[in-house]
A and B are shown apart, each in its own frame.
Chain A
Amino acid sequence: MNKTDTQDGSKRVSRINRFFLDLHDVFLFVVRIFKEAFLPPYEFKEIVKQCFEVGVKSLPLISLTGFITGIVFVNQSRPSLSEFGAVSWLPSLIAIAIVRALAPLVTSLIAAGKVGSNIGAELGSMNVTEQIDAMEVSATNPFKFLVVSRVIATTTMIPILTVYTTMLALLGGFINIHQHEATSFQTYFTQVFNTVTFTDVFASLAKSIVFGFTIGAVGCYKGFHSSKGTEGVGKAANTSVVLSMFLIFIEELLSLQIVMALIS
């Protein structure tokens, strides 16, 4: 074994070590979120402010995306169904697709891009400019004030936004179906609600709670631990989005397995 091989080997070991150390830090960070969320004092004012930031300020983007998702999904599904003469099944198909997967996924991915990057950049810049230290020396717990309030906001607002996206996507789907098949509003929504089960709605909400927690926790972790300097802020914003989206897809896959197991 030559010297280069030994150096490569030790680099690999240190990278593996760092990965596990990072994983340990993430675990402690998540445990601390749960611990501090339940212990007083509670930052109600900041939580409400963050809910507004996450929920209300994301509405225009979420509305547009949800509505378009419904229209596009119906448009793309119609040719396949018409081959089998099953166009009348479109409302059922869209209901299942939107409620079970598309609404939570689309909402969370949009929120990961908008809210996750915002949280990562904001906390990263506060870290760089010593605002977090300033909070700490003025006897305020910055973790509770900045992290816990944001994670609670994303965890509560993403499920609400998911319900909103679901309604808009179904509406978008209805407009498309009504134009092409002249299906009435009542017929469309009767078929939609007859198709969707309690498990579908419950799974959709449960998933979006997990996605919301992921977006908040990842954004806060990356921002809170950003390296000093402007480069660190950009990196925190970027990795918040990429990591959140990656984890959302992994969680979607896992939740699919759980739901399938429950149904069967």
Chain B
Amino acid sequence: MKKKANIDTSEKVIAIRGLKKSFGSLTVLRGVDLNIYKGENLVVLGRSGTGKSVLIKIISGLLKADEGSVKVLGEEVGELSPKELDALRLKIGFSFQNSALYDSMTVYENLEFPLIRNVRNLTRKEINVAIEEALEDVGLSQTIHQMPSQLSGGQRKRIGIARTLILKPEIMLYDEPTAGLDPITSGEINNLINQVQEQHNTTSIIITHDLTCAKTTGDRIAMLLDGQFQRQGSFEEVFASDEERVKQFYEYNFID
């Protein structure tokens, strides 16, 4: 069970109102409303194709919303200029489903990439220290000179998280952090997500359909059904529902 986090409910880090998004004739988000508070880990649950990843891509500005308002750290994402959006993105860490490590670069170069491009006047020594610290955070210092192709799935996920942590983000967005991993490695990733929240005081959105991940990492669970958040609350509150689809979701997951 997750330790109680230090959540400041007076400070909304992300505020979403009436968010709608369609792809051609397929509508995935049908008026989403959501608040995420400082220091909170929010888990978004839902079946594949329900728009969970679309939601965090809109928050990070990778996709544009059709309608509605998305405020991140007080700024309306859809109205920012490219320069302002880049400045906001430095405060957001995005951990991709497949890690998205740059294949042609070593682990060191992967971590160096966002740092040297966004933080000016760093000495080589400062860069090395930052990279070593980020790798220590995820427990993978020994992989520093390896290529992504030499790493296991779990290691790739961790390095992906380390790459986002190097810029010390205020918000972390995790897209299916445990997808495709064995239960033990999934457990390690879940612990890492909690460790990041504690050490860096980040606010996180965790997209998953793994209930173990949801229970271990989430301070609050929001369930996306029919393009809207229809159930929100603690893990127990959400799954106390009699609704067939929620029960099905629970029953198809193996959970203690």
Measured CB to CB, the residues of A under 8 A from B are 122, 125-126, 129-131, 133-140
Q: Are A138 and B62 in contact (CB under 8 A)?
A: no
**Given A122, A129, A139, A140, which contacts B100 in the complex, CB threshold below 8 Å?**
A129
Which residues of B157-177 have CB atoms within 8 Å of chain A's CB atoms? 163-164, 167
Residues of A within 8 A of B103 (CB): 125-126, 129, 131
Bound CA–CA A81/B219 (angstroms): 87
- Other A-B contacts than A133-B96, A135-B102, A138-B113, 12 sampled, CB-CB below 8 A, are A122-B104, A125-B103, A130-B100, A131-B101, A133-B57, A133-B100, A134-B96, A134-B101, A136-B62, A138-B163, A139-B89, A140-B117
- Residues of B in contact (CB 8 Å), total 25
Give min CB distance, B63 to chain A, whole Å: 10
Q: Are A137 and B89 in contact (CB under 8 A)?
A: yes
Residues of A within 8 A of B104 (CB): 122
B58 in the interface (beta carbon within 8 A): no
Q: Are B117 and A133 in contact (CB under 8 A)?
A: no
Give min CB distance, B78 to chain A, whole Å: 16
- Using an 8 Å CB-CB cutoff, how does the interface string of B75-119 with A read, 1 for contact, 0 for none? 000000000001101101010111011111000000001100110
Residues of B within 8 A of A138 (CB): 89, 113-114, 117-118, 163-164, 167
**28 residue pairs A–B, Cβ–Cβ below 8 Å:** A122-B104, A125-B103, A130-B96, A130-B97, A130-B100, A133-B57, A133-B94, A133-B96, A133-B100, A134-B94, A134-B100, A134-B102, A135-B102, A136-B89, A137-B61, A137-B89, A138-B89, A138-B113, A138-B117, A138-B118, A138-B164, A139-B86, A139-B87, A139-B89, A139-B90, A139-B117, A140-B113, A140-B117
Measured CB to CB, the residues of B under 8 A from A are 57, 60-62, 86-87, 89-90, 92, 94, 96-98, 100-104, 113-114, 117-118, 163-164, 167
**Given A122, A126, A129, A137, which contacts B94 in the complex, CB threshold below 8 Å?**
A137
Residues of B within 8 A of A136 (CB): 62, 89
Q: Are A137 and B117 in contact (CB under 8 A)?
A: no
Give min CB distance, A28 to chain B, whole Å: 16
Bound CA–CA A131/B104 (angstroms): 11
Bound CA–CA A138/B162 (angstroms): 13
Residues of A within 8 A of B118 (CB): 138-139
Give min CB distance, B70 to chain A, whole Å: 15
Give min CB distance, A255 to chain B, whole Å: 35
Residues of B within 8 A of A140 (CB): 113-114, 117
Bound CA–CA A135/B101 (angstroms): 10
Instruction: Name the residue on B nearest A125 (C-beta).
Output: B103
Q: Are B100 and A131 in contact (CB under 8 A)?
A: yes
Residues of A within 8 A of B163 (CB): 138
Q: Are A137 and B167 in contact (CB under 8 A)?
A: no
Bound CA–CA A131/B160 (angstroms): 11
Q: Are A133 and B62 in contact (CB under 8 A)?
A: yes
Bound CA–CA A125/B102 (angstroms): 10
Residues of A within 8 A of B117 (CB): 138-140
Bound CA–CA A136/B57 (angstroms): 11
Q: A130-B96, A130-B97 are in contact. Are A137 and B62 (CB under 8 A)?
A: yes
Instruction: Name the residue on B nearest A43 (C-beta).
Output: B117
Instruction: Name the residue on B nearest A145 (C-beta).
Output: B117
Q: Are B102 and A137 in contact (CB under 8 A)?
A: no
Give min CB distance, B146 to chain A, whole Å: 17
Bound CA–CA A203/B152 (angstroms): 52
Give min CB distance, B82 to chain A, whole Å: 8
Bound CA–CA A133/B62 (angstroms): 7
Residues of A within 8 A of B101 (CB): 131, 134
Q: Are B98 and A139 in contact (CB under 8 A)?
A: no
Residues of B within 8 A of A125 (CB): 103
Bound CA–CA A134/B61 (angstroms): 12
Residues of B within 8 A of A139 (CB): 86-87, 89-90, 114, 117-118
Residues of A within 8 A of B97 (CB): 130
Bound CA–CA A27/B46 (angstroms): 40
Residues of A within 8 A of B90 (CB): 139
Bound CA–CA A248/B57 (angstroms): 39
Residues of B within 8 A of A131 (CB): 100-103
